[in-house]
Amino acid sequence: MDSPLYKTVSNLTNARICVCGDFMLDTYVRGRVGRVSPEGPIPVLHVDEKSHSPGGAGSVSIMLDALGSEVDCVGVIGADSGGKELKKQLIGAGCKVAGMIETNGRPTTLKTRYMGYVHSAGRGVQQMIRVDEESTTPLRRKVREKILNHISSVLPDIDLLLIQDMAKGTFTPSLLQEIIGECRSRGKPVLIDPSIKQEYAAYRHATCILPNRMETEKATGASMAYEKDYAEAAVGFVNSLDLDFSIITLDREGMFFADKDGQKALVPTTPRSVIDVTGAGDMVSATLAISLASKLPLKEAVRLANAAAGIEVSRQGAVPVTRTELAEGLRLHAEPCQNKIKTEEEAKQTVARIRARGESIAFTNGVFDILHLGHVELIRFAASRADNLIVGMNSDRSVRAYKGPGRPITPQQIRAQTLAAMPNIDYVIIFDNPSVYSLIEKLQPDVLVKGGDYSSKEEVVGWEIVEARGGKVVRAPHVKGYSTTELIQKIKDTTGNDEK
């Protein structure tokens, strides 16, 4: 029986990995579209902000760093502002960039996406156009030699070499064979994310190749429709290219692997809500690289990479997943209720992870002693106001402090587990103070939701904290006739009548 995946994360080491490949800079230009140009039927974008992030091999590098690897980047950039920004981004993420070779006459590969929205709140974002600036001509001999020399210099100290071939001119078949041969002679594994444009013979003798469904169909000429097709292709790669193993990524179906010892299997994906598939392939490459460099068994490495991609697609954009987030996400999926429950001490870390994903937070609180329709409607309403809903719940001690020794009826752990079982609640935080003020200070929510029985926002504890950072205080519609105190009294009255 397979062990829980979240326990596998603790077996990852701080492996040193060399990422060699096509590095690029992704730029996002965001703004509001309020009119059409008088020069033609063209939307006019009023730019609000620009942001940059490493793409291609750069994206994989920062994901590896987030997972705890020590990363050496080897690639080519132009002597231009894009190259400077790309190096700055990689250094800021903690990667080593001594192997990023600057060349004249060849630009840094840039992909600029213009993103427009029509709502003042920035909702309904639509990509209007993508502009690519690149050269895909093969590298000059001197540049190829510099790449080989740098790889040779770091090989004694690395645990694995990851090649990201994206057909931008970095790799010729001869260069690939020289790199693979050098690694093989030094006993270093080579994991390759192949290009759809490359002849696969160029990857011969690598440890593993990692094509996706489309790349596999192009390389084999066969349709990848059924498990027998995956098996035939994966085994075929191992035999024809003299690989140790091959792994085919199959988007929503998962991943199929085969090795030279005859082991093969389809690892199905874990069902998750897909928000954005951007970065899923990079996450697979990064997780497999660190897993294999940490000497995890092949099946465990594939399972972990498959699950990590599932976490990545549940986020907006190619956001690096840290090792802690990976473990927490896997644990949450394995034990969804228990792992939603956090202490006050864990609250800040939880919020920091949410903020890092660029997501918003709604917050509401209460005792939730006997869960009733009023609570359900409050939670449903609060969940609709932001990307994440955090519910603060009074501890047993804090309930007794202001409701008396007879309360709560239900112990805090049972109350917390009941709330955590509700799918529209992301986290439950048990707080020990009779007042929720200090917890709101820690969380700094974007939206503070209270029941509609409050007549004004000034009656809501913590309203000034939320509004000071530009957030909102929102009153949920009041459901009449539902109150825990009234329910308890009705139970007492009913019990009393039965006894008579």
Which of 289, 317, 333 finishes a domain? 333
Give 236's contacts (C-beta < 8 A, 6+ positions apart): 220
Q: How confident is the model at residue 1 (pLDDT cuts 50, 70, 90)?
A: very low
Q: Are residues 175 and 218 in the same domain?
A: yes
Q: H or E segment at 353?
A: helix 344-356
Whether 159 sits among the annotated catalytic residues: the reply is: no
Counting the structural domains of the chain, the total is 2
Closest to 266 (Cα-Cα) out of 279, 257, 274:
257
- Output the six-digit token pair for 358: 């660029």
Q: pTM to 2 decimals?
A: 0.69
- Is residue 485 very low, low, confident or very high in pLDDT (cuts 50, 70, 90)? low
Query: Residue 193 belongs to what H/E stretch?
Result: strand 190-193
Helix or strand holding residue 328 (H, E): helix 323-334
Among left, alpha and beta (phi > 0; psi -120 to 50; other), residue 71 is beta
The verdict on residue 500 lying in a domain is no
Under a CB-based contact definition with an 8 Å cutoff, are residues 111 and 61 in contact?
A: no
Residue 22: other Cβ atoms inside 10 A: 23
pLDDT band at 275 (very low <50, low <70, confident <90, very high): very low
What whole-number distance in Å separates Cα of residue 73 and Cα of residue 23?
Answer: 9
Are 329 and 344 in the same domain?
A: no
Measured between alpha carbons, how far is 88 from 78 in angstroms, rounded to an integer? 14
Indicate the residue among 317, 333, 349 that finishes a domain: 333
> In this predicted structure, what is the pLDDT of residue 269?
77
Residue 57 has pLDDT above 80, yes or no: yes
Q: Does residue 441 fall inside a structural domain?
A: yes
Structure tokens at 228: 């027998």
The answer to whether residues 94 and 205 belong to one domain is yes
211 contacts: CB under 8 Å, gap ≥ 6: 194, 219, 237, 246, 248, 249
Distance from the first to the final alpha carbon of the chain: 57
Concatenating the DSSP letter of every residue in 79-136 gives SSHHHHHHHHHHHHTT-EEEEEEEESSSPPEEEEEEEEE-STT--S-EEEEEEEE---
Residues 6+ apart with CB under 8 A from 488: 369, 370, 409
Domain extent, residue 44, equals: 5-333
Using CA atoms, how far residue 232 sits from 66, 223, 262, in Å, is 35, 11, 12
User: Residue 122 — pLDDT band, cuts 50, 70, 90?
Assistant: low
The residue with greater pLDDT, 332 or 306, is 306
Q: Are residues 402 and 308 in the same domain?
A: no
The DSSP bridge pattern shows strands 160-164 and 190-193 to be: parallel
* CATH number of the domain bearing residue 483: 3.40.50.620
Residue 226, CB half-sphere, CA atoms under 13 Å: how many? 1
Q: How far is CA 209 from its chain centroid?
A: 23
At residue 271, does pLDDT exceed 70? Answer: no
Check whether 277 has a pLDDT greater than 60. Answer: no
Same domain, 166 and 31: yes
Q: Name the β-bridge partners of 473.
A: 448
The answer to whether 25 touches 168, Cβ cutoff 8 Å, is: no
The reported pLDDT for the residue numbered 263 is 94
In this structure, the answer to whether residues 110 and 194 fall within a common structural domain is yes
Annotated catalytic residue within 22, 72, 165, 282:
282
Whether the per-residue pLDDT at 487 is higher than 70: the answer is no
Same domain membership, residue 94 and residue 207? yes
247 and 350 both lie in a single domain? no
**132-146, 267-281, 423-437, range with the lowest pLDDT:** 267-281
Judgement on whether residues 314 and 380 belong to the same structural domain of the protein = no
Together in a domain, 303 and 412? no
- 17-26, 352-361, 382-391: least confidently modelled range: 352-361
Read out DSSP for 160-189? Answer: EEEEE--SSSS--HHHHHHHHHHHHHHT--
Is there a domain that residue 234 lies in? yes
Q: How many whole angstroms separate alpha carbon 328 and alpha carbon 6?
A: 7
User: Does residue 495 surpass a pLDDT of 80?
Assistant: no
pLDDT greater than 60 at residue 481: no
Cα-Cα-Cα-Cα dihedral of 286, 136, 49, 320, to 10°?
0
Of 309, 333, 357, the one marking the end of a domain is 333
In a domain, residue 499? The reply is: no
pLDDT classification of 402: cutoffs 50, 70, 90: confident
Average pLDDT taken over every residue of the chain: 88
The enclosing domain of 268 has a CATH number of 3.40.1190.20
What's residue 499's pLDDT?
A: 46
* Tokens read off for 162: 């990851």
420 & 283 share domain: no
Question: Which residues does 423 contact at the CB level (< 8 Å), separation at least 6?
Answer: none
The tokens of 20 are what? 């060699």
Residue 31 vs residues 48, 124, 196: alpha-carbon distances, Å: 5, 12, 34
In a domain, 121, yes or no: yes
Alpha carbons 20 and 439: distance in angstroms, whole number: 46
Residue 374: which of 447, 491, 482 has the closest Cα?
482
pLDDT at 475 over 60: yes
Whether residue 230 is predicted with pLDDT greater than 90 in this model: the reply is yes
With a pLDDT cut of 90, the percent of the chain lying above it is 64
